[in-house]
Structure 1
Amino acid sequence: MRRPSPAAPLAPGGSSSLARAQSTTLVLIALGANLGIAISKFAAATWTGSSAMLSEAIHSLVDTSNQALLLLGLKRAARPADATHPFGYSKELYFWGFVVAVLLFSMGAGVSIYEGVHKLAAPLPLSDPHINYIVLAVAMALEGYSTYRAVGECRARHGNRRLFDALRQSKDAALFTVVLEDVAALAGLTLALLGVLASHMLGLHWADGAASVMIGLLLAFVAVFMAIEIRSLIIGEAVSQDVQRGLRAIIENEVGEDKPIRAVNELRTMHLGPEDVLLAASVDFRDNVSSQVVEATTARLERAIQTTYPVVRRLFLEAQSVAAHEAALAREAARHSVDLSALGVGNAEQNRQHSDPTGEPSEVTPPATLEKQAAVTEPVAESRANSPATGQPAQQAERRGKKAKKNRRR
């Protein structure tokens, strides 16, 4: 029995609305900073002829376009569910984040590398490098503020973990895109400054082009990292292990000798968006509980889960015996040829023993036995179809087909 809960609405001051507002604020800050920086960099590159400065100008222009796309994604992802998209539009943010990664790789990295190679082939001295120094200093100040805000928000949401770990665990494409682009921008500005200094102070005019190539390679690396992370989110990522343990603990509060649930078979979760999680749970209710008890238990679990974890916006509970659940797992494993233990599903018998302290016996059929039974059933069904009683219509049809062929030959 499945009981889908409606999307749990969060209050205007709830964590979901607050996180979305903070992400929007960070994107707006990055958009304003990059727009001003791009204009100043293009002016400096035109005046001085610096290839590294031109690469940085292109980088900032691409970042500005990317932030505009992220704002579009945030707005479209907030649309309510409808008949065409019953689970809502939360994943649209991931789509636009992937578009950002593609643009960063193709336009940002590609153009920077092309410009750098062109400058390496014919290096020229800079006409007035002092303008580059001024623009780079202002750009570093603006990018530094944007990076400070974005990195602080990212670490705060993930318990002040290391930045790389926080980025890997983040499900907010807008947040980690801004963080990655800002960090890449600071690194790119440093490379551009080193290239200008080497060309101006040391007379190494090729250094300006080399800095441009290095900026392009940096952008390519960031773009590939972003694409890999967002691809995983588009496919569908589970919540963190801590949240999974918390969800299981809430459901196991209804497991016990005097409780309605015998065992928790399985939990599966998927992020539909940064603050939008789908939970599907399979539980084994005791045989002696009534339908009213099942409904009351389901309602209690929905309230407890959505109170503790408001991001779980959609909850599906399935009443399923341990044996039926194992049979379903065996069919799924046979169909996809996968080891379902990698999903964190485990063995249903182990789940039952872990969940039910009474150790109440239950008829459990191992998955291997179920697969053998299915293999035996198919030949039996085929032999029945070919028996004289059931196969007579097929034989008559075959004879009629042979007669028709003879008539056509005549």
Structure 2
Amino acid sequence: MAHSSRLVVYAALAANVGIAIAKFIAAAVSGSSAMLSEGVHSLVDSINEVLLLHGLRRSQRRPDRQHPLGFGRELYFWSFIVALLVLALGAGFSLYEGVNHILSPDPLRDPTLNYVVLAVGVLFEGTSWWLSLKSVQRKKGKLGYFEAFRGTKDPTTFSVLFEDSAALVGLAIAAVGVYLSHALGDPRIDGWASIGIAVVLALASVMLARESKALLIGEPAHPHLLADVCGIAGKVEGVEAVNGVLTVQVGPDHVLVALSAAFDDRLTTVEIEQCVRTIEARTKEAKLPIVALFIKPQTPESWRERLRELDGES
């Protein structure tokens, strides 16, 4: 999964660096506010991809004594920073540039280079978008796109997909703004196009920030993991009942699991410990993405009482 995510991010980074340079040149030649906003947009996206790669690398480090649950949440942290950068730098600059261009309109010069750069931008951004879309399709399974986005535990690919989608919409807005501004002789339209780009970036930023925040705070693992753990524990001799499981996603491939189980009353402490070791060994054999497994001997009544407490706290 990490290799696939890196490939998508590298593709987006390569596209954004080249496009950003071309957009800045086109903006300088034509004096287009929308093209300048798009250049900043691509530059911010390039910085974001670097941060995501940094987060991916750090999240793969092995657990140690100071970090027994691993470093998976590093990726969630950097994904949140990426969302803030899109809002603060990308949307903020585009809004400022658009308002400034409306208040102090500067007639566009020859827009030909703008159209060439926009066409090349669509080609490169479209290729990056297609690669990220294919990666998302492989991961989402039978889920819808929005449902998969809300339930994803690896924000990397979806972050790139959102960035590329926002980039394509931004390119379309810039193209319309440049054309109408030049055709109608009204440079303020170019400024309004820049504000439109700011709105697109702000919406993408809010959605990414919301999902990253949920992952940082702590989301439960996918339901199928809960079913797998309960199924493994329920087949161990000496376990009378599996009461339930509490999980927290602490990284794309790192899950903290707390299992409540009722053991045979005739078992000794040593025998219960052996049951626990058997459960741990079988979850490892199943290659489940569990970074820590805690098993609590508990009666069903005590488990239900705990659930009532959680329901009351929420």
* Structure 1 segments unaligned to the other structure (5+ residues): 1-18, 340-410
TM-score with structure 1 length normalisation?
Answer: 0.72
Residue number in structure 2 paired with 1:404: none
Mark the CA change 1:99 to 1:214 in structure 2 (over 3 Å): closer, same or farther.
Answer: same
Residue number in structure 1 paired with 2:48: 66
Mark the CA change 1:160 to 1:183 in structure 2 (over 3 Å): closer, same or farther.
Answer: farther
Residue number in structure 1 paired with 2:23: 41
Residue 337 of structure 1 deviates from its aligned partner by: 4.3
Establish whether residue 302 from structure 1 lines up as the match of residue 284 from structure 2.
no
Contact 2:248 2:255 in 1 (8 A): yes
TM-score with structure 2 length normalisation?
Answer: 0.93
**Bigger relative contact order, structure 1 or 2 (CA pairs below 8 A, ≥6 apart):** 2
Residue number in structure 1 paired with 2:148: 166
C-alpha separation in 1, matches of 2:165 and 2:31: 25
Aligned 1:85-96 pairs, distance under 5 A: 85-96=67-78
Q: Which residue of the other structure, out of 173, 181, 185, is the alignment partner of 1:191?
A: 173
Contact 1:306 1:313 in 2 (8 A): no
Residue number in structure 2 paired with 1:53: 35
Q: Note the alpha carbon deviations across 1:346-378, whole angstroms, 9 max, x for none.
A: xxxxxxxxxxxxxxxxxxxxxxxxxxxxxxxxx
Aligned residue type for 1:275: D
Q: Which residue of the other structure, out of 247, 253, 262, is the alignment partner of 1:269?
A: 247
Q: Note the alpha carbon deviations across 1:238-269, whole angstroms, 9 max, x for none.
A: 11223323333333334xxxx52222222011
The SS at the match of 2:167 is: helix
Residue number in structure 1 paired with 2:313: 338
* Structure 2 segments unaligned to the other structure (5+ residues): none
C-alpha separation in 2, matches of 1:76 and 1:113: 34
Establish whether residue 143 from structure 1 lines up as the match of residue 118 from structure 2.
no
Mark the CA change 1:194 to 1:308 in structure 2 (over 3 Å): closer, same or farther.
Answer: farther
Residue 297 of structure 1 deviates from its aligned partner by: 3.0
The SS at the match of 1:310 is: coil
Q: Note the alpha carbon deviations across 1:141-177, whole angstroms, 9 max, x for none.
A: 0011111111110121110533222221211122221
Contact 1:154 1:167 in 2 (8 A): no
- Between Structure 1 and Structure 2, whose CA radius of gyration is higher? 1
Contact 2:234 2:240 in 1 (8 A): no
**4+ aligned runs moved over 3 Å, structure 1:** 290-293, 306-309, 323-330
Farther off after superposition, 49-58 or 296-305: 296-305
Residue 309 of structure 1 deviates from its aligned partner by: 4.9
Aligned residue type for 1:263: A
Residue number in structure 2 paired with 1:364: none
